Structure 1
Amino acid sequence: MKRIILAAASAVLLLASCQSDFNKTATGLVYTIFPGKGGDSVKPGEFVKYNVEYSLTERSGKKDSLLQSSFDKMPGFGQVDTGARAAYSILEIMPKLRAGDSATVVLSCDTLKKKNMLDPTDSVIFTKGSTILCKIKIIATFKNQADAMADYTKEIDKQNAREIKMVEDYMAKKGVKGVKTKSGAFVTIDNPGDQSNKADSGMLASIKYKGYLQSDGTVFDTNLDSSKGHLDPLNVTVGAHQVIPGWEEALPYFGKGGSGKIYVPSFLGFGLQGSPPVIPPSANLVFEIQVLDVKPAPPVTAGPAMPPTR
Structure 2
Amino acid sequence: MLYRAVIVKILVTGSNGQVGHDFKCLAENSRHDWICFDRKGLDISDEQQVADVIARERPHVVINCAAYTAVDKAESEPDRAFAINAYGAANLAKACQAHGAALIHISTDYVFAGDTLAPYEESDPTGPTGIYGESKLAGEQAIAEYLERHIILRTAWVFGAHGNNFVKTMLRLGAERDELGVVADQWGAPTSAAGIAACCLAIAEIIDAKDCAEIPWGIYHFTGLPSTSWHGFAEKIFKDAVAIGLLDKAPKVNAISSDQFPTPAKRPSNSQLDCSKIFNCFQITPDNWEDRLLDVLKLSL
- Normalising by the smaller structure, the TM-score range is under 0.3
Larger radius of gyration: 1
- The structure in which a higher percent of residues are helix is 2
**TM-score, with normalisation over the residues of structure 2?**
0.23
**TM-score, with normalisation over the residues of structure 1?**
0.22
- The structure in which a higher percent of residues are strand is 1
Greater RCO structure (CA 8 Å; 6+ sep): 2
